[in-house]
Amino acid sequence: MNPGKIQIHILYFTQAGADLAAKLTRELTPEASVTYKSGKGCCKEWTAEHFRKGNVLVYIGACGIAVRAIAPHIGSKDTDHPDPCRAPGRRQ
């Protein structure tokens, strides 16, 4: 990864999520270093690793998964970075 670029890490849980992660990666790569992987079996550990570093985290899937994953790591909305969520195939 390029240390001069923003670090974005994407976690997905379905094939539709994988497809969206790949599309986001293609679109964001010129401005950022993007990595993505399946969240099956590693969501808690993945979140802990990247949250501590202050990286941008993107969860593609149910909002509840993201909320439960970040809950142990947040302290205050005034001091923590935002983690917006959106499920694939859903309207905002």
Residue 85 is assigned to a structural domain of this protein: no
Residue 20 is assigned to a structural domain of this protein: yes
**Rg of the chain on CA atoms, in Å:** 13
Residue 19 is assigned to a structural domain of this protein: yes
Residue 84 is assigned to a structural domain of this protein: no
Residue 46 is assigned to a structural domain of this protein: yes
What is the chain's pLDDT, residue by residue, as a tens digit (92 residues)? 556 778 888 888 889 988 998 898 888 877 788 888 887 777 888 888 888 887 888 888 888 888 888 888 888 777 766 655 555 665 54
Closest CA to 17 of 62, 49, 51, 48: 62
> What is the tally of structural domains in the chain?
1
Residue 86 is assigned to a structural domain of this protein: no
The answer to whether 8 touches 56, Cβ cutoff 8 Å, is yes
pTM of the model: 0.73
Give Cβ neighbours of residue 91 (< 8 Å, ≥ 6 apart): none
The whole domain housing 21 covers 6-73
